[in-house]
Amino acid sequence: MENIPWFDERPVSEVRPGDHGLLGYVDAEERDRVVGPFVRAGLATEEKVVYITDQPAESLPGLERCSLDLARLKSSRQLRLLSRREACLSRAGAFEPAKLADTLDRERESAFGEGYRAVRVTMDSTWLLTEPGGAEAMLSCEDRVDRAISPSTMAMGVCQVDVRRCGTAQFGALRDSHEVLMRVDAEFDDGILTIRRIYGPFGLKLRGELDASRHSHVSEHLLRAMASRRGDIHLDVAELDFIDIGGLNLLAQHAAELPRGGALYLDHLRPDVENVITMVGWNRLPRLRPGARTGGAAR
């Protein structure tokens, strides 16, 4: 997922009306870090949130263990939890694309009438993709969903899909029918260096230039990532234009702190950056390893 062109991707905080975004997640944390901010940003402002789900509000990303008054939000209709049966299933329990499109149109219109400046819609579609014929049914309705959201000046949608369960081939087909890919917000961005957590494989994406004045930020986020998972950590450096020698030293230091047998992989190294590493020799960077090649599949 990490070698898709940058312009297709959008951090969740930059989502805007008309966006019909797709979130392919490989990990519950990744889902929560996109859907959570998406939902909370709507509720924190004058926007309506429509969540199509059979789960109770208290267990949804962004709403569990939050300080919001969920009962009040529901009664004021700012938070709309629609069951799948209400939103998109026939009486017999089969998925009905036309009903989903009608639901979206209706919710958007009523939000407008209720005075909300925008409406945010989200649904986890993994259940549909894992049903027989579900993928075709879902693809057939994407056009109508797109028509309900894209031209709108007030609607935004995020389709959630668990890539581990639906498979990369189905996810690929789905990706083509969405104009925007959702991703987690950067953890650090000073205009020179951007640090963002990635999930497939797990680690950080570094973009821009890494030098001495930014070592402490990389260190902080790398240590956090290492603390939250056991095993290997991947750094996607496809868009890292520069790393200083102290930066290599820093990465080697942290690699040495990984649990026994773990390694720090540098994925999609650019030739200019790799040149410095080849010069000093990978053997001088213990437990730092070359990972996936540019353009290749993540390992």
Q: Which residues of the chain form contacts with other proteins (CB under 8 A)?
A: 192, 209, 211-213, 242, 244-246, 248-249, 252-253, 256, 272, 275-276, 279-281, 283-286
Q: What is the DSSP string of 80-115?
A: EEE-HHHHHB-TTS-B-HHHHHHHHHHHHHHHHHHT
Q: How far is the CB of 215 from other proteins (least distance, A)?
A: 10
- Please say which residue, 284 or 293, places its beta carbon nearer to other proteins: 284
- Please say which residue, 128 or 251, places its beta carbon nearer to other proteins: 251
Report yes or no: 62 and 40 within 8 Å, Cβ to Cβ. yes
- Please say which residue, 56 or 286, places its beta carbon nearer to other proteins: 286
What is the token pair recorded at 74?
């529901």
* Three-class DSSP category at 148: helix
- Please say which residue, 197 or 268, places its beta carbon nearer to other proteins: 268
Q: Closest Cα to residue 234, out of 254, 258, 263?
A: 263
Which residue(s) pair with 194 in the sheet?
A: 189, 207
Q: How far is the CB of 269 from other proteins (least distance, A)?
A: 14
CA angle 218, 220, 286 (to 5 degrees): 65
**Cα distance between residue 79 and residue 70, in whole Å:** 8
Q: How far is the CB of 214 from other proteins (least distance, A)?
A: 9
What is the token pair recorded at 151?
């031209």
- Please say which residue, 89 or 192, places its beta carbon nearer to other proteins: 192
Q: How far is the CB of 284 from other proteins (least distance, A)?
A: 5
Q: How far is the CB of 19 from other proteins (least distance, A)?
A: 32
What is the token pair recorded at 33?
């870090």
Q: How far is the CB of 244 from other proteins (least distance, A)?
A: 5
- Please say which residue, 127 or 242, places its beta carbon nearer to other proteins: 242
Which residue(s) pair with 27 in the sheet?
A: none
Which residue(s) pair with 155 in the sheet?
A: 119
